[in-house]
Structure 1
Amino acid sequence: MGIVPKNVEFNKQLVKRLYNYDIQHMKELNGYDDRNYHLITTDSKEFILKITNKLESSQEGLLDSLNSLILHLYNNGFKVTVPQINTNGKYLSFEDIPQEGQQENAIEKPYGVRLLEYIPGELLRGIPFTPEILEECGQVLAKMTITLQSYDSDVLQKRTTEWSLLRALDVRQYIDDVESEENRCIVRQSLDEFERTVMSRLHEFKHCIIHGDFNEMNIIVDKNLKMGNDYHVKGIIDFGDSHYAPQLFDLAIHLCYSILMFTAGPVIYAPAFGLRGYQKFVDLNNNELNALYSCIKARLCQSLVLGAHSSKLDPTNTYVLTTAKTGWSALKALHDCNPKDLLSKWLNIDKYM
């Protein structure tokens, strides 16, 4: 994807023109393909300026559909990054953005520009992955799944993204970018299993529009003094990977990433808590439960291989290797388990922890 150029001063002028805010402070946040900036205005309001990459900006109706999805969740009681209306009376503007290091008249267009509500708090990634917070995440995800079952979008119905689990098998072309032969072997076997047990049976799963990346970087938590001063889920951010897929995939993605920093017990037990929370509101049938193991491993493979490939293309982008820090050991631990035995432990986790 085309990466959006950095240009802080231009962005400040952009916000002034489109939203009539003067910027006191602007900080760039981590991102995979887009540019995201945390803004503080001179009157102490906080927002996220999101400049979407060229490829997705050029997809007709995509950003409007994502705005519509966010507003649907907001109108149903979810704390999400609500798009702000600009001076043209719209939630979205397409802008010519000058490239850094080029002449002033050198432009790249168009980039989708949105100003989103900022949700204060901490990323889930920044706190301990306790059974309690993971179970709550599962509950929030289940409620979001139920809400999204009543949402539809022709654009998102037809959309596929690089990060969709529907395209997990695509990473086979990048397996050689993984350094370890043992890891390459595990990836091949895991993807073969996912193809056999999940992709060949997609028609058996319930579908809806899903978040697509419900992970520790997209969940905002905060301490609640009224609830024992423990961390609780406050909001959900980054709907840029939303698309139509088996609703099970959203759960599998969350369970996959819940493993990465779990310290309350063996990492292979981490999915039990998100699963328990999810099933308090959404019942999974046997087909869905049996597919979870393969989906979680496939997502780990997808993240690890794409991270290795992106790092090879741009060694300076350390963000793409976030999963690799604990992901390879987690994948091996899962791969060494018997799927049926592990599922039984997830469903009866109180016997094991």
Structure 2
Amino acid sequence: MHGAIERVSRAGIATSRPVRTKTGNQFEIVPIHSKTGSEYRFLVRLFEYVPGEVLEDKPYTAPLCYQVGRLGGRLDNALLDYRPPELMGHSRHWNLRLAGSIADQTYVIKDAGRRTLILEVVRKFQTNVLDRGELLRRGTIHGDLNEGNIIVRKENLNHPDTCGDSCTNETYVVHGILDFGDLVYEYHVFEVAIAITYIMIETKHGIDPVDAGGHVLAGYLGECPLPAEDLRVVKDCVTARLAQSLTYGAMAHHKDPSNTYCLRTSVRGWPLLKELWDMPESELYKRWNRTLKTYGIDAIKNLL
């Protein structure tokens, strides 16, 4: 993880870098004794502070969504040749690949129609993405571009390359990224699909969630173009992430009914998943293509 952070930092992306200890290490193992005399050993490390605020609850605008996509593309470019042995073949609980394995967890979803929807999404994800994975481009990805990990700050500016024509005297701009705990060697399309998913869920006012996803895609492709095979499965990956998040949330609540925080995605997530699932891919890509064209990007025109 520390190697990835250093590469991202060298690429000019603000992130919390580890501060070395007095002995030059990136962390120390510290023994602490309890009152009863038992010894416990803790890993201790210190990270630099990144000024700003998290994206959560900020007003989502088209320029801000575009910048989120750019951040994802810049991250993947910075990590393009980063392949540490410990990441090869390694997975994480929130790895999007594991959305293909959630079918046996759907019993915690009480509504039969919703259970069926999740199973349909998973089957399509397995067929179109996982079973054809050899056709998709892979690399090390951040794996969790959500509103709680993206740092924004207020700026007084009017530069078209960062905020387009929608800037006011003061606007939020993407500043940096936190939390490399879900770092994984996976398909690049997972990175942009995850970012699109969380932006869509959190978009509440001023911009349609589907259109917001188009701005994220434009920002990503402007930095890190994807092959046609990858672009064809963006929708499948977005719906799979929604299904994964909704199922994980339902499972967490099933295990601990007092934990209502884990259901926060469900309020907007279920309607969004149904909307996307019912929307023909041709219609979705036409909408996104119109958005991409405003940035001079024609990457998906051949998919229409």
TM-score (norm 2): 0.86
Kindly indicate whether residue 80 of structure 2 is the aligned counterpart of residue 149 of structure 1.
yes
8 Å contact from structure 1 (residues 129, 264) kept in 2: yes
Match of 2:176 among 228, 235, 260: 235
Match of 2:220, as an amino acid? Y
Partner of 1:189: 120
CA pair 104-318 structure 1, distance change in 2 beyond 3 A = farther
Q: Taking CA–CA contacts closer than 8 Å with sequence separation of 6 or more, which of the two structures ends up with the larger relative contact order?
A: 2
1:148 and 1:181 mapped to 2: Cα distance? 42
Q: CA RMSD in A?
A: 2.2
Give the structure 2 partner of residue 24 of structure 1: none
- Give the 3-state SS of the residue equivalent to 2:72 in structure 1: helix
Contact 2:218 2:292 survives alignment (8 Å): no
Deviation at 1:182, TM superposition (A): 1.8
Maintained 8 Å contact 1:290/1:343: no
Residue of structure 1 equivalent to 2:164: none
Structure with greater helix percent: 2
Of stretches 328-337 and 237-246 in structure 1, the one that deviates more from structure 2 is: 328-337
Find the residue that maps to 1:226 and give its secondary structure: coil
Counterpart position of 1:68: 3
The letter of the residue matching 1:145 is D
Matched letter for residue 77 of structure 1: G
- The alignment-based identity, stated in percent, is 29
2:201 is matched with which residue: 256, 260, 267?
260
CA distance in 2, matches of 1:172, 1:110: 39
In structure 2, the partner of 1:281 is 223
Query: Contact 2:138–2:186 at 8 Å: present in 1 too?
Result: yes
Match of 1:30 in 2: none
Q: Deviation per CA, 1:167-215, whole angstroms, max 9, x where unpaired?
A: 1122222111122222111111000010010000111111111001011
Q: Deviations over 1:216-270 (max 9, x none)?
A: 1110111112343111011100010001001111000000111112233432222
C-alpha distance 333-164 of structure 1, shift in aligned 2 (>3 A): same
Residues in 1 aligned to 2:38 and 2:269: alpha-carbon distance in whole angstroms: 41
Partner residue in 1 for 2:156: 225
Aligned-partner residue type, residue 260 of structure 1: I
- Where 2:50 maps in the other structure, the secondary structure is coil
Q: Structure 2 unaligned segments of length 5 or more: list them.
A: 159-168, 295-304
Cα offset, 1:87, TM superposition: 3.5
Alignment check: 8 A CA contact 1:276 1:347 kept: no
Alignment match, 1:127: 58
Structure 1 residue 91 corresponds to structure 2 residue 22: no
Establish whether residue 171 from structure 1 lines up as the match of residue 106 from structure 2. no
**Normalising to structure 1: TM-score of the pair?**
0.75
Corresponding residue to 1:118 among 49, 58, 66: 49
- Alignment gaps of 5+ in structure 1: 1-65
Displacement after TM superposition at 1:86 (Å): 2.2
1:335 aligns with 2:277: yes
Q: Which amino acid aligns with 1:243?
A: V
- Aligned partners of 2:214 and 2:292 also within 8 Å: no
324, 327, 332: which one aligns with 2:266: 324
What does the per-residue CA deviation read over 1:141-182, in whole Å, with 9 as the maximum and x for residues that have no partner? 111111110222111123111111111122222111122222
Structure 1 residue aligned with 2:298:
none
> Following the alignment from structure 1 to structure 2, what is the Cα–Cα distance between the partners of residues 343 and 111?
50
Matched-pair contact (CA < 8 Å) for 2:215–2:292: no
Per the alignment, do residues 120 and 270 of structure 1 end up closer, same or farther by CA in structure 2, a change over 3 Å counting? same
Matched residues in 2 for 1:230 and 1:140: separation?
A: 17
Which secondary structure state, in structure 2, belongs to the residue aligned with residue 126 of structure 1? coil
Matches of 1:69 and 1:281 in 2, distance apart?
18
Q: Give the distance between the partners of 1:153 and 1:292, measured in 2 at CA.
A: 27
Secondary structure at 1:250's aligned position in 2? Answer: helix
Structure 1 residue corresponding to 2:140, chosen from 203, 206, 209 = 209
* Residues 16 and 178 in structure 2, CA contact (< 8 A), matched pair in contact too: yes
**In 1, Cα distance between equivalents of 2:152 and 2:256:** 31
SS of 2:82 mapped into structure 1: coil
Matched, 1:346 2:277: no
